[in-house]
Amino acid sequence: MGPNTLSVPMALFGENRNRLVESVKADVNTPAGSIILLQGGGDQGVCSGDSSDNGPLFRQESYFHWCFGVLEPDFFGAIDVASGKSTLYQPRLDEDYAIFMGHVPTLMEVKERYRVDEVIFLDEMPDHLRSVALVFRPNLLILEGLNTDSKKISRSASFDGMSEFEIDRKLLHPHIAECRVVKSSYELDVLRYASKISCLAHMEVMRTIKPGMAEYQAEATFLHHVYFYGGARHVCYTCIAASGPNGAIQHYGHAGAANNRIVHEDDMLLFDFGAEYYCYTSDITCSFPASGKFTKNQSIVYNAVYRANRAVLAACKPGVMWTDMHLLANKVVLEDLHSAGVLKGNVSDMMDACLMGRVFQPLGMGHLLGLDIHDVGGYLDGNPERSQLPGLKYLRTARALKAGMVLTIEPGCYFIDYLLDSALADPELNQFLVKEKINEFRGSGGVRIEDVVAITESGTEVFSKVPRTVQEIEDWIGGDNSFMENWK
Amino acid sequence: MGPNTLSVPMALFGENRNRLVESVKADVNTPAGSIILLQGGGDQGVCSGDSSDNGPLFRQESYFHWCFGVLEPDFFGAIDVASGKSTLYQPRLDEDYAIFMGHVPTLMEVKERYRVDEVIFLDEMPDHLRSVALVFRPNLLILEGLNTDSKKISRSASFDGMSEFEIDRKLLHPHIAECRVVKSSYELDVLRYASKISCLAHMEVMRTIKPGMAEYQAEATFLHHVYFYGGARHVCYTCIAASGPNGAIQHYGHAGAANNRIVHEDDMLLFDFGAEYYCYTSDITCSFPASGKFTKNQSIVYNAVYRANRAVLAACKPGVMWTDMHLLANKVVLEDLHSAGVLKGNVSDMMDACLMGRVFQPLGMGHLLGLDIHDVGGYLDGNPERSQLPGLKYLRTARALKAGMVLTIEPGCYFIDYLLDSALADPELNQFLVKEKINEFRGSGGVRIEDVVAITESGTEVFSKVPRTVQEIEDWIGGDNSFMENWK
Ligand SMILES: [Mn+2]
Ligand SMILES: [Mn+2]
């Protein structure tokens, strides 16, 4: 991208295509003469009903990007299953394009840039597809599958003349989604970089934001740092720059709650920010006191969540069930709230009553991460189904961990009035709650400590390195650079 | 928004609604029992075929925003023409919203925030509409009209039960578009502020960017400055951070040409950036040498464009035709290129041959600006039609100027190889071209000097105050703060 930024090798996408072809080929249901055909994202404009001539900056659709790494809109791409040969179909641009949009790359230039076997104009695609497969009616493997986070169906390729081909919409999706779940070492390099630049920006934010500033000034600082220094033009989700009570709002920062509260001296801050680099994402949350020094109650909640984060980190390795990690994090937080006198009774009874999921952490403890912030493949057929229990039902996967997965570990503890009130009125739950202690935490928002980790053969590699202990955070905000000196 | 940012009074939108009602009421074709009904932008997600659960940050649809100033998605709004009474219809949000998105504002809170006469749940809208108009079948005035820049049709309101109403899709559009053309003093305040924070950010960029940096570091600097200091979360168009030859590409900066060239010592830079504040936009271009000092050839082109910019600025006032301003700018640039020996022959012959539009400025010299960067109303019925001449055909309006209009004045001079080659091969045009001199400028990109101005009763008010003369630019980049000291 620019000075001192990561150069992404196109071999990343070549290897992805090879992995996909191997997987599809090994499937006994794949007919001879099959071609994988994907349609890239288009520049059709805005969905919000706006008729203006300015839409959001184009960002490639993730499945297409995973296969081809193409940054421009309106391409199609094909992979012949038998030969592994890859073809990009480039839109034919007119002369005005050169004036308004810049140099129109030739077919050869596109081929050089993206390292595919062939580049053809899009209007010649139907004829070309017939010639590639060497059969009279090639079988097109088209992507169609449910995204279990958005509940949307992935875009299916569609073009004039499609009816002259055999079309299979079932076979491709589980193969490509499963391939995306396990990251190659090329992909790990980019994901590691996206987290690295995000961490440096988080650390800048920790030293920039002061009481009296608006929350959005933290967002502005983060966005600037990852772009100016890291070359990351996009973030993969709207920045959550929550102060005080807003820390309890899971998706704070959207247009209706636009990071515009003024930060107070006694606030906890919860900043959930992640850069995206070459469409590979990061997702890191730092929680710290606006004053730079933890109060006693702030450190009770913080340390409970920190201990949960580290307990999960220590336990993660191939074969471990993600649901167990969620429950482990819940249990550690409950233990610490119990020790601090915020809860009473027996922790295993609290677990049986789903106290975390119903009150203090009504969402999942972490998720797969890759080209999407909530990456695909969480509930593919053949894997455990979604639990219907509180908290667990929002967990974005229930799978066993596998080397090459990248996930966030993001336990949290939130004080949500609406849930606290319900719990205090519920005899099954209020037996555990020390009302007067709980009231001390009302309005304080919440704490989330979110790291990005890769699962290795033996355990984990942590991609997000930021000050995490109370001491590290206080030292860093206080101007002590020793954390940075050990940073790599 | 935050510390030291502009507070936007909701009276702005109340006055807009009153202006619209007056205009519609005065139309003899408006039936009794008419209600203006607009549908706000929705959060339906991304159009690019992406099935992920993260879309772009919501930004309100401009017509709806102009009437109601509502920042959240999925609202409808109505104005009863007879009484002027305004109603917002708020989506009914469930309990989970409080956990994930934050406090659900009550109807009363929404009414207080947006200062409308009434707020009703959206699912009660059909019944409410019937009660408002005091007639059995109210006549709904629905927005439907062509955006002459995007060629898209504005979003029409649509809801279950619509068939029980009379529907008029013709009447509203010309009234509301014309109202948007003439800005109120409330609107001018916000537009002035958007340009002010954009100028300060441009000035920061001028001092930050150095040879060896990537173009996008200018974009990052601008975005940070308008957000961190000005509270502007959005820009209204993709930043054009063009260095050297890229300055000739009108919409440089898009995903396929992503501001990622390294800046060279001898480059001219062309930075076209504008912040958006409460959906009101700015659009300012600064051109300056990367070295901080103009070379002789750089100052020839720069001064030609600067003189054109000032000639237009001096000539603008109510009654003046915008097409004449375009041609005036063209003529001044031609005169200066002729004086510098880049062109030969007679300037009026060059004008007759459309030399600027066919070669050096193949686009319009400026456009209306407001809630959209290319604001609506440029070619409403009853106004002059679009010219088909080179250059002029891209002019986004051909209207006579009116007090209260806000426009950009953006003459330019570009060296586009493709157009230069065509012109050199064209006997009608090559008689004017001094080939060896022109070749000195090839690859240098272009210069654009773009200001935002409001038309007043007697002339203009310039909203964009940045170093503009060669001397001012060299002084400012060189560290002399005197320009800032006189800035207000
Ligand atoms: Mn996350
Ligand atoms: Mn402009």
What are the structure tokens assigned to A137, written together? 């009616």
Whether residues B147 and A59 touch (CB distance < 8 A) is answered with: no
What whole-number percentage of chain A has pLDDT above 70?
A: 98
User: Is it the case that residue B48 has pLDDT exceeding 70?
Assistant: no
d(CA A261, CA A401): 39
Taking only the tens place, the pLDDT of each residue in A91-127 is 998 878 878 888 889 999 999 999 999 999 999 999 9
Phi, psi of B243 (to 5 degrees): -115, 150
d(CA B343, CA B78): 58
d(CA A433, CA A453): 33
**ipTM reported for the complex, 2 dp:** 0.95
User: Is it the case that residue A48 has pLDDT exceeding 60?
Assistant: no
Whether residues B416 and A51 touch (CB distance < 8 A) is answered with: no
Question: Could you tell me the distance, in angstroms and rounded to a whole number, from the CA of residue B346 to the centre of ligand 1?
Answer: 66
User: Is it the case that residue B44 has pLDDT exceeding 60?
Assistant: no
To the nearest whole Å, the CA of B134 is away from the closest chain A CA by 30
Contacts of A214 in chain B (CB under 8 A): 1-3, 231
Best residue of B228, B367, B421 to probe chain A, by most A CBs closer than 10 Å: B228
Whether B445 and B270 have beta carbons less than 8 Å apart is answered as: yes
Q: H or E element: which one contains B288?
A: strand B284-289
Model confidence at B153, pLDDT cuts 50, 70, 90, reads confident
Which residues are near ligand 2, the ion (C-beta closer than 5 Å)? B 283, 408
* Ligand with an atom nearest the CA of residue B369: 2
pLDDT of residue B49: 55
Q: Which of B364, B414, B438, B363 is nearest to B242 (CA)?
A: B414
Residues 6+ apart with CB under 8 A from B254: A57, A58, A101, B238
For A406-424, what is the mean pLDDT? 96
What are the structure tokens assigned to A218, written together? 């933290």
A245 burial (CB, 10 Å; 0-12 / 13-18 / 19+) is: buried
Q: What's the maximum distance between 2 C-alpha atoms anywhere in chain B? A: 76
**What residues form DSSP beta bridges with A281?**
A276
Taking only the tens place, the pLDDT of each residue in B357-383 is 999 999 999 999 999 999 999 999 999
SS (H, E, C) chain A: CCCCCCCCCCHHHHHHHHHHHHHHHCCCCCCCCEEEEEECCCCCCCCCCCCCCCCCCCCCCHHHHHHHCCCCCCCEEEEECCCCCEEEEECCCCHHHHHHCCCCCCHHHHHHHHCCCEEEEHHHHHHHHHHHHCCCCCEEEECCCECCCCCCECCCCCCCCHHHCEEECCCHHHHHHHHHHCCCHHHHHHHHHHHHHHHHHHHHHHHHCCCCCECHHHHHHHHHHHHHCCCCCEECCCCEEEEHHHHHCCCCCCCCCCCCCECCCCCEEEEEECEEECCEECCEEEEEECCCCCCHHHHHHHHHHHHHHHHHHHHCCCCCEHHHHHHHHHHHHHHHHHHCCCECCCHHHHHHCCHHHHHHCCCCCCCECCCCCCCCCCCCCCCCCCCCCCCHHHCCCCCECCCCCEEEECCEEECCHHHHHHHHCCHHHHCCECHHHHHHHCCCCEEECEEEEEECCCCEEECCCCCCCHHHHHHHHCCCCHHHHCCC
Taking only the tens place, the pLDDT of each residue in A242-264 is 999 999 999 999 998 999 999 99
Whether A410 and A365 have beta carbons less than 8 Å apart is answered as: yes
To the nearest whole Å, the CA of B229 is away from the closest chain A CA by 8
Among residues 86-125 of chain A, which lie with CB inside 8 Å of chain B? 95, 98-103
Q: Which of A109, A80, A79 is nearest to A93 (CA)?
A: A109
User: Is it the case that residue B47 has pLDDT exceeding 50?
Assistant: no
User: Is it the case that residue B45 has pLDDT exceeding 80?
Assistant: no
How many Cβ atoms from other residues are within 10 Å of residue B98's Cβ? 17
Contacts of B73 in chain A (CB under 8 A): 48, 255-256
Taking only the tens place, the pLDDT of each residue in B158-213 is 999 999 999 999 999 999 999 999 999 999 999 999 999 999 999 999 999 999 99
User: Is it the case that residue B145 has pLDDT exceeding 90?
Assistant: no
Nearest CA in chain A to B261: A2
Q: Residue B382 — left, alpha, or beta (φ > 0 → left; ψ -120 to 50 → alpha)?
A: left
Place of tokens 């080929």: A25
Model confidence at B50, pLDDT cuts 50, 70, 90, reads low
Among residues 1-20 of chain B, which lie with CB inside 8 Å of chain A? 1-3
Phi, psi of A61 (to 5 degrees): -65, 140
Whether residues B221 and A221 touch (CB distance < 8 A) is answered with: no
Q: What is the CA radius of gyration of chain B?
A: 24
pLDDT of residue B128: 94
User: Is it the case that residue A56 has pLDDT exceeding 90?
Assistant: no
Taking only the tens place, the pLDDT of each residue in B203-259 is 999 999 999 999 999 999 999 999 999 999 999 999 999 999 999 999 999 998 999
Whether residues B52 and A373 touch (CB distance < 8 A) is answered with: yes
pLDDT of residue A46: 44
A90-104, B280-294, B426-440: which range is least confident on average?
A90-104
User: Is it the case that residue B271 has pLDDT exceeding 90?
Assistant: yes
Whether A145 and A173 have beta carbons less than 8 Å apart is answered as: yes
Whether residues A416 and B227 touch (CB distance < 8 A) is answered with: no
d(CA A435, CA A426): 13
Measured in whole angstroms, the distance separating CA B65 from the mean position of its chain's CA atoms is 15
Model confidence at A49, pLDDT cuts 50, 70, 90, reads low
How many Cβ atoms from other residues are within 10 Å of residue A482's Cβ? 10
What whole-number percentage of chain B has pLDDT above 90?
A: 87
User: Is it the case that residue B46 has pLDDT exceeding 50?
Assistant: no
A246 touches chain B (CB under 8 A): yes
Kindly report the average pLDDT of chain B as a whole number.
94
pLDDT of residue A44: 53
User: Is it the case that residue B272 has pLDDT exceeding 90?
Assistant: yes
pLDDT of residue B190: 98
User: Is it the case that residue B94 has pLDDT exceeding 90?
Assistant: no
d(CA A111, CA A121): 12
CA distances to A214, B305, B413, B431, B479 from B300, rounded to whole Å, are 45, 9, 11, 21, 24
User: Is it the case that residue A309 has pLDDT exceeding 90?
Assistant: yes
Q: Which of B377, B416, B412 is nearest to B398 (CA)?
A: B377
B192 touches chain A (CB under 8 A): no
User: Is it the case that residue B56 has pLDDT exceeding 90?
Assistant: no
A79 touches chain B (CB under 8 A): no
Q: Which of A47, A102, A362 sits opposite B99 (nearest CB)?
A: A362
What are the structure tokens assigned to B459, written together? 């002339």
Contacts of B46 in chain A (CB under 8 A): 47
Contacts of A256 in chain B (CB under 8 A): 71-73, 101-102
Taking only the tens place, the pLDDT of each residue in B276-286 is 999 999 999 99
Kindly report the average pLDDT of chain A as a whole number.
94
Taking only the tens place, the pLDDT of each residue in A332-378 is 999 999 999 999 999 999 999 999 999 999 999 999 999 999 999 99
Q: Residue B339 — left, alpha, or beta (φ > 0 → left; ψ -120 to 50 → alpha)?
A: alpha
To the nearest whole Å, the CA of B458 is away from the closest chain A CA by 31
B479 touches chain A (CB under 8 A): no
pLDDT of residue B239: 97
Q: H or E element: which one contains B34?
A: strand B34-39
Residues 6+ apart with CB under 8 A from B240: B251, B252, B253, B259, B270, B271, B272, B273, B285
pLDDT of residue A43: 64
Contacts of A218 in chain B (CB under 8 A): none
Q: In what order do the strands lie in the sheet with B234-235?
A: B234-235, B275-277, B280-281
